[in-house]
């Protein structure tokens, strides 16, 4: 049986630490005002696995939403870029 991990409500962010950033584009099929407010957002994660799991979960919740992971070395992995892409 898999051991349950503790859920963290926040990430201790430090500019000196290594983080993977999940960048999210606007949610498709929402009113224009919603897309303007939530045009692009970025969330830091302490590991590649955590970033990947969040990104894939977001794709499941909002199919068609642009989702990308920016790696610490600057590389970007795009999951989906149909709706205007993710700004770099």
User: Mind listing the pLDDT tens digit for each residue in 5-26?
Assistant: 666 666 566 677 788 999 998 8
Mean pLDDT taken over the chain:
79
Cα–Cα distances (Å) from 88 to 1, 9, 25, in that order, read 41, 27, 12
Q: Which of 64, 71, 68 is nearest to 79 (CA)?
A: 68
Return the percentage of the chain with pLDDT > 90, whole number.
31
Question: What pTM does this model have?
Answer: 0.70
What are the start-end ranges of the H helices in the chain?
32-37, 48-61
Report the phi/psi class of residue 37: left, alpha or beta, with left for phi > 0 and alpha for psi in -120 to 50: alpha
CA distances from 62 to 2, 3, 75, 78 (A): 28, 29, 24, 15
Determine the pLDDT at residue 6: 67
Rounded distance between C-alpha atoms, residue 74 and residue 23, angstroms: 13
């Amino acid at each position: 049986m898999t051991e349950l991990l503790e859920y963290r409500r926040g990430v201790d962010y430090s500019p000196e630490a290594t983080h993977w950033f999940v960048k999210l584009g606007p949610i498709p099929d929402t009113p224009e005002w919603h897309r303007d407010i939530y045009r692009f957002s970025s969330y830091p994660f302490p590991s590649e696995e955590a970033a990947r799991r969040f990104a894939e979960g977001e794709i499941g919740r909002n199919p068609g939403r642009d989702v990308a992971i920016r790696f610490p070395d600057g590389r970007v992995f795009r999951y989906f870029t149909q709706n205007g892409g993710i700004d770099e």
